[in-house]
Structure 1
Amino acid sequence: MCGRNSLFVEQGDLEARFDAEVVTDGGYTPRYNIAPGEDLFIITNEAPDEVDAYHWGLPFWADEPEESIINARSETADEKRVFEQAWESRPCLVLSSGFYEWKSPNGEMKHPYRIHREDDPAIAMAGLWDVWGGDDETISCVTILTTDPNDLMKPIHDRMPVVLPRDGESEWLSAGPNARKELCRPYPKDDLDVYEISTRVNNPGNDDPQVIEPLDHEQSGLGEFSSG
């Protein structure tokens, strides 16, 4: 799954990386700890040259936007009524400087880890977007697609977001549903990295560079998650 995200690359570097301009109301603010219900920066198939901010959680049928789905299983999203229209025609890229996942070894307290691509200012995760309409407002919203873990993620969690290789990002936005289905697989390359961080990330109010600092102790267990 993916329950916490970050995006803190400088705006100019972000726009250059994805060849897209930030257009969101209020501008762009680097974020180190983005929780569900907050805004994710995304690029939609309808505006591939724009970076906009969408509410994290698809509330198709919900009475309130807080009652929303932050992750969708890519294997079955096309079979679910709540995702039907979004899967068919509303793919997007969810931009990230790295996402967070928690591991609970031997039933102990969960330990947080940061997963990122060290040689890339930002990665793109596969997402679906939609627009929720209430009595007096509309909300543009997004969910992140998940898949089976790759070898890097298996020791941490039994799911991972669909992280797209750079050469698959444009295809995800432009291809049809069947071709996009083929892109929903465990990340195939070996250029992701992971390291343990402190539990500061557990509190969404902690939104600063300290969140991504490696945990400073000798038993961090980083070796078993080496990407080679």
Structure 2
Amino acid sequence: MCGRTACTLGPDEICQACSVRTMKDGKKQYQAPEWRDHPGGKSYTTSYNIAPSRFTPVIISDHHVRGVKRQSDDEVLSPQRIIQPMMWGLIPPFYKGSSPTGHGLTTNNCRVEDIEEKKSYKPSLIKGQRCVVLCDGFYEWQAIKGEKTKQPYFVYAPQPEGIEIWNRESWDKPGVWSEDEGWRGPQLLKIAGLFSFWISTEDWLDFGRIGYKEALTNLTNEVELTWHPVSTAVNNSRNQEPNINVPVSLDKKPPETASSKLMSAWLSKGSAKKDNSALKDMKREPGKTEAPEHYEEKEKKPSPFSKWIKKESDDNANDN
């Protein structure tokens, strides 16, 4: 996961999208988890372009809220799921400052490879403070050779036929959820996470029964993700247009928004100044020689995401 997400469903819709099939009065029905407001009064606001430090919904076990519930002295009841907003970015347990973001560390992403060594994450892991982060999807950027601006992609879970998670009109209809049939709208992306005060689904949430070492072994990438290129307007977190994660064609220039037009004008003005400055430098140094013709700029190694995109493109070409 990278540093920007989208989460556009309201609280009720998020709970319905996370409903599970249960037995109620001897009949199988779908039950939506409870929404719990943030205890500190922080609210969740839907957005197409979410940066770290914003409050977004996560699933946790109710044992972290109400304490471990028991049916008897020997039998612990299974945890129930609760959804509540949490700030994106773990507050390290050793941090003693007054501001939740004043620690100066980047804690919005955690690698499973070193999670047991990092003093920022290990205490939450040991205490069973595991959660599931909910979102429509996240954004990832691919560097393009010869281009200054990276191409953003929107990465999300596979969707039911006919549903476009970025297009609300494709699914927001009567009967999108019922106790008999469950949720029939878009599928949210569910990401394993840690919190410094909370938890999430199934074995990952059941910290009383599943130890952290066993929970870590269950973190496998079993779901194939889907992606498509989106407008470069997502590069600026201030851009909140509702069509920011709609697919765009890479064969033609994507439509400009009011924000992107302003940015283009500003960049063009800055480029002109830069070019004039370069000419002045050349006039001041007439004896300066140009770089040899055989000189080539050292090429950067492709990022893992670039390799992923290339592999999918090669596979599709082979299939065709």
Decide: shared fold, TM above 0.5. Answer: yes
Aligned residue among 132, 135, 145 for 1:93: 132
Rate the CA distance shift 1:91–1:215 in 2: closer, same or farther, 3 A.
Answer: same
Question: Equivalents in 2 of 1:31, 1:207: separation in Å?
Answer: 7
| 1:32 matched to 2:48 | yes
Please, which runs of 5 or more residues in structure 2 have no aligned partner? 19-31, 66-79, 160-185, 254-308
Matched residue SS, 2:204 = helix
Cα deviation 1:58-114 (Å, max 9, x = unaligned): 231444432241111111112222212211210001001111111113363211110
Aligned residue among 236, 244, 251 for 1:218: 251
Matched residue SS, 2:234 = helix
Alignment correspondent of 1:74:
112
Question: Quick check: 1:102–1:112 contact (8 Å CA) kept in 2?
Answer: yes
Query: Larger relative contact order (C-alpha < 8 A, sep ≥ 6)?
Result: 1
Q: How much identity, in percent, do the aligned residues show?
A: 26
Question: Quick check: 2:15–2:35 contact (8 Å CA) kept in 1?
Answer: yes
Cα deviation 1:29-83 (Å, max 9, x = unaligned): 3221110111121112325532111111123144443224111111111222221
Rate the CA distance shift 1:26–1:57 in 2: closer, same or farther, 3 A.
Answer: closer
Query: What is the letter of the counterpart of residue 184 of structure 1?
Result: L
Question: Equivalents in 2 of 1:20, 1:208: separation in Å?
Answer: 30
| 1:106 matched to 2:145 | yes
Aligned-pair distance for 1:9? 2.4
Question: Equivalents in 1 of 2:109, 2:243: separation in Å?
Answer: 26
Counterparts of 1:100-179 in structure 2, within 5 Å, are 100-106=139-145, 108=147, 109-119=149-159, 120-131=186-197, 169-174=201-206, 175-179=210-214
Question: Equivalents in 2 of 1:179, 1:196: separation in Å?
Answer: 37
Question: Equivalents in 1 of 2:145, 2:122: separation in Å?
Answer: 39
Aligned residue among 20, 26, 34 for 1:21: 34
Rate the CA distance shift 1:27–1:82 in 2: closer, same or farther, 3 A.
Answer: closer
Rate the CA distance shift 1:29–1:38 in 2: closer, same or farther, 3 A.
Answer: closer
Structure whose CA Rg is larger: 2
Rate the CA distance shift 1:81–1:203 in 2: closer, same or farther, 3 A.
Answer: same
Please identify, of 62-71 and 29-38, the stretch whose mean Cα deviation from structure 2 is larger.
62-71
Alignment correspondent of 1:155:
none
Aligned-pair distance for 1:13? 2.9
Question: Quick check: 1:3–1:36 contact (8 Å CA) kept in 2?
Answer: yes
Could you state the TM-score of these two structures normalised by the residue count of structure 1? 0.72
Aligned-pair distance for 1:216? 3.3
Question: Equivalents in 2 of 1:209, 1:54: separation in Å?
Answer: 23
Question: Equivalents in 2 of 1:225, 1:179: separation in Å?
Answer: 36
Question: Equivalents in 2 of 1:194, 1:3: separation in Å?
Answer: 16
Matched residue SS, 2:53 = coil
Question: Quick check: 2:60–2:131 contact (8 Å CA) kept in 1?
Answer: yes
Question: Equivalents in 1 of 2:158, 2:213: separation in Å?
Answer: 31
Cα deviation 1:126-150 (Å, max 9, x = unaligned): 000014xxxxxxxx8x9xxxxxxxx
Could you state the TM-score of these two structures normalised by the residue count of structure 2? 0.53
Question: Quick check: 1:22–1:28 contact (8 Å CA) kept in 2?
Answer: no
Please, which runs of 5 or more residues in structure 1 have no aligned partner? 132-139, 143-167
